[in-house]
Amino acid sequence: MLKINEKMFKNFLDNLNDLKVTRNLKVIRKGNQLKSLFHKIRLNIFPAILGCCIFFSTALAMDNEITKEDILTAIEKKYSGKSFEADFIQISKLAALDITEKATGKASFSHPGKMRWEYMEPAHHEIITNGKSLWIFRSEENQVMIGDASQFFKTGAGGAFLSNISLIRKNYIITLKEVTADYAEIELNAKKKNTDISLIVIRVSKKNSEIVKAVTYNPYNDTTQFEFYNIQFKKIDPGLFEFKPFKGLNIINLD
């Protein structure tokens, strides 16, 4: 896994690190160095974000296996090959240091593997990938970090689920967690142990088939919670998932 000085990608994608981008970048857990990094990046991209909703009957709600398969099928049908965007609220908790931080922004996704996370608060920065290259741009610092997206997102962390829905069955063991009249929750347990994501819990609305909440956990008990709203399925300009460094920009290669 590539090493970078980003909290998001140490915890991903940390949260959605590890965007190795809130991040499959791994949290540098070295005492004060980690604490300083957490305050600096304020990222924790949602190491595994995705969603769907289906109207469940009472019979399905009583049968975990059938309902689980119905949810997975609906997710694949709804998101496979689709482009969409959404606003988000992110709450990241670093258990070892008892730190909680909140961020807001807008995310865009396009199949396969294209994502753009634009954080507006508390500080502006962007995590961009075209499925091959990764850019972490911090305009306030006139800096961009460049890396290989395949290394950061190969496990589906960093929100990669949303841009390649097939990663769900490939990388996680799925179980039904809860079904109510308003929503359903599924739990994703990582098939292979890693330092980025051990568990993801997703809540989907049965009213409008939208993700309303997603929480990721890593082996250190750090969590990242995302709330999504204003979801819009639409055609997105491919140029949104590209970044061209400009003259005078400080470039850092992730290795």
Reported as a pLDDT band with limits 50, 70 and 90, residue 171 is confident
Residue 1 lies in a domain: no
N- to C-terminal Cα separation, the chain: 9
- pLDDT at position 155 is 57
pTM: 0.71
Q: Any bridge partners for residue 110, and if so which?
A: 83, 114
**Tokens at 56, concatenated:** 């469940």
Cα separation of 217 and 235, whole Å?
32
Q: What is the CATH number of the domain that holds 116?
A: 2.50.20.10
Residue 113 lies in a domain: yes
Reported as a pLDDT band with limits 50, 70 and 90, residue 154 is low
| 184 vs 21: which has the higher pLDDT | 184
Mean pLDDT of the chain: 75
| Mean local confidence (pLDDT), 94-107 | 95
DSSP SS3 for 197 = coil
Residue 152 lies in a domain: yes
Domain span at residue 121 reads 8-253
**Tokens at 122, concatenated:** 């508390």
Residue 127 lies in a domain: yes
- pLDDT at position 184 is 86
- Give pLDDT tens digits for 6-16: 444 444 344 44
What string of H, E and C letters represents the secondary structure of 173-218?
Answer: EEEEEEECCCEEEEEEEECCCCCCCCEEEEEEECCCCCEEEEEEEC
**Tokens at 73, concatenated:** 């099928």
Domain count, the chain: 1
Residue 53 lies in a domain: yes
| Mean local confidence (pLDDT), 111-137 | 93
Residue 15 lies in a domain: yes
- pLDDT at position 157 is 64
- Give pLDDT tens digits for 191-227: 887 777 888 898 877 777 777 888 889 888 899 999 9
Element (H, E) at 91: strand 83-94
pLDDT over 70 (residue 59): no
Residue 2 lies in a domain: no
Cβ–Cβ contacts within 10 Å for residue 56, how many? 21
- pLDDT at position 129 is 94
Residue 100 lies in a domain: yes
Reported as a pLDDT band with limits 50, 70 and 90, residue 156 is low
Closest CA to 124 of 141, 138, 142, 134: 138
DSSP SS3 for 23 = coil
The DSSP output letter for 97 is: G
Cα separation of 166 and 10, whole Å?
24
Residues 130 and 149: beta-carbon distance below 8 Å: yes
